[in-house]
Amino acid sequence: MDKTAAMDNAKMTSGPITRILLSFAGPVLLGQLLQQLYNIADAAIVGQFLSSKALAAVGATSSLTYIVCYFCIGSCIGISVPVSQAYGAGKEEDLRKYFINGVYFALAIAVIMTTVTAAMSGFFLTWLKTPESIFRQAHIYLVIIFMGLPLTVLYNFCFGILMAFGDSKKSTMFMAVSTVMNIFLDLFLVVVVKWGVAGAAVATVFSQGVAGVLSAVYIFRKYKLLFPINKEERTFHPYYMKNIIRMCMPMGLQYSITAIGAIILQFYVNNLGEEAIAGFTSGYKIKNLILCPLNSLGTALSSFVGQNFGAKRFDRISEGFRKTLTIGLIYSLIMIFVCFVTGRYLALIFVDAADTLVVEYTVKFIKYISIFNMELALLFTARYSVQGMGYGKYSILSGLAEMAARAAVAIALIPHFGFDAVCWNEGLTFLAGIIVILPIYIKLFCHLHKSMI
């Protein structure tokens, strides 16, 4: 199959919408499940083979790794928006210029974020009032994760490029290799070599680096049309860089702004003691696993909207929104039943049954989050649609609302209601995001549709 034919097969501007979304989301879902298995393996091995205190140490870093890593992830995956729009419009020269300037953007993100975060990791943990009993282990884990940020950037930049072309299968394959490697490295470095939490961090960083390198090699070999064909296309272009920053930075900021609220939440969870930290850590790992299908549908929708926006197919954008939301709500109803039935068994993946309080906290968190899934189905559908149209800057407003809600609940309710308020925090946060982003999507869609008729 020649290059043009291969590209045409990835077009999302024609054909059955549900089939396109599900066929694209399927490999993405598998990749995200593998990514979560990747993360769960760290927590499970640390919790089972070290101690609940070591698990708490890893958990105490979660909000910090979230805000930093997800800023990098959101910024890098954001490259899929201009690339998918140029691809949908058939503008190959723009495609190459967006790609090379995206590479420059990713390099800058990697250097700046690694330097700043690794140097300030101790300060961050102190500011969060991390308990002294777990501070040293938390610091070791955090520094290693931050030093590996360039590999996180590499993988997610490549992931964004592959998503722009609707090529979700290869990235899933590479993540599968990375996940298997991570589990074996975790066991070897934690159990055999006895590196403790440092072993878990090294396994995570090294394994993601493997996925990044494999993805980069694949892109270089298959997508030759991305690479500049002359010196002029290889040079830095302010126009394209400006558009990349306009589309990518809001996605990174949206992730990180939301995470600022998570840091405030972590601050108050830390004050509840080691058992609450461990229960929250376990519950959050399971939460991220439960949300994978909604995330994968959102990723599929973003690429779908991007290509159809470039082709000016607003009828398909509207239909894609409705079908994605319907699928998400059906899934959410199923998960309520599953989580209420299997919550305890899920908790025991991370901690021993003897840690009864940790198990109780974890089960409670899982049950609450399963109910709040329905809110998230709507939030993700609206947010990813706005980002796919290239207006990710508006998603920052949603992120600000979520940050404010998360912080407000943490400050006002956790001191009085304890871990119950930690659980309520999720639902109120999602609701705040919906109140902001849904009207933005409706108004933006109607305005752009009328202006392009």
For 315-340, the pLDDT digits (tens) are 888 888 999 999 999 999 999 999 89
Q: Which amino acid is at 443?
A: K
- The band of 3, judged by pLDDT with boundaries at 50, 70 and 90, is very low
Segment 166-186 shows an average pLDDT of 81
**54 contacts 133 by C-beta, under 8 angstroms:** no
**46 contacts 190 by C-beta, under 8 angstroms:** yes
- The band of 1, judged by pLDDT with boundaries at 50, 70 and 90, is very low
Distance CA 99, CA 216 (A): 13
Q: Does residue 389 register a pLDDT over 50?
A: yes
Q: pLDDT digit string (tens) for 399-430?
A: 888 888 888 888 899 989 989 999 899 899 99
pLDDT of residue 4: 45
Q: Which residue has the higher pLDDT, 12 or 206?
A: 206
Q: pLDDT digit string (tens) for 65-121?
A: 877 887 887 787 777 778 877 777 677 777 788 888 888 988 998 999 899 988 988
Distance CA 80, CA 82 (A): 6
The mean predicted confidence, pLDDT, of the chain is: 82
Q: Which residue has the tokens 């702004």?
A: 257
- The band of 449, judged by pLDDT with boundaries at 50, 70 and 90, is low
Segment 274-284 shows an average pLDDT of 83
- Cβ-in-10-Å burial (0-12, 13-18, 19+) of 122 comes to middle
Lowest pLDDT segment from 181-195, 224-238, 335-349: 224-238
Tokens of 164: 């722009």
pLDDT of residue 11: 65
Q: Does residue 256 register a pLDDT over 80?
A: no
CB atoms within 10 A of CB 390: 21
Percent of the chain at pLDDT > 70 equals 94
pLDDT of residue 7: 45
- Distances in whole angstroms, Cα of residue 413 to Cα of each of 160, 233, 372, 417: 38, 55, 18, 6
Task: Break the chain into its structural domains and give their ranges.
Answer: 15-452
What is the 3-state secondary structure of the chain? CCHHHHHHHCCCCCCCHHHHHHHHHHHHHHHHHHHHHHHHHHHHHHHHHCCHHHHHHHHHCHHHHHHHHHHHHHHHHCCHHHHHHHHHCCCHHHHHHHHHHHHHHHHHHHHHHHHHHHHHHHHHHHHCCCCHHHHHHHHHHHHHHHHCHHHHHHHHHHHHHHHHCCCCHHHHHHHHHHHHHHHHHHHHHHHHCCCCHHHHHHHHHHHHHHHHHHHHHHHHHHCHHHCCCCHHHHCCCHHHHHHHHHHHHHHHHHHHHHHHHHHHHHHHHHCCCHHHHHHHHHHHHHHHHHCHHHHHHHHHHHHHHHHHHHCCCHHHHHHHHHHHHHHHHHHHHHHHHHHHHHHHHHHCCCCCCCCHHHHHHHHHHHHHHHHHHHHHHHHHHHHHHHHHCCCHHHHHHHHHHHHHHHHHHHHHHHHHHCHHHHHHHHHHHHHHHHHHHHHHHHHHHHHHHHHHC
Say which residues have a Cβ less than 8 Å from residue 312's Cβ, sequence separation at least 6: 452
Distance CA 364, CA 283 (A): 8
- Distances in whole angstroms, Cα of residue 378 to Cα of each of 5, 171, 298, 425: 35, 26, 10, 17
Q: Does residue 453 register a pLDDT over 60?
A: no
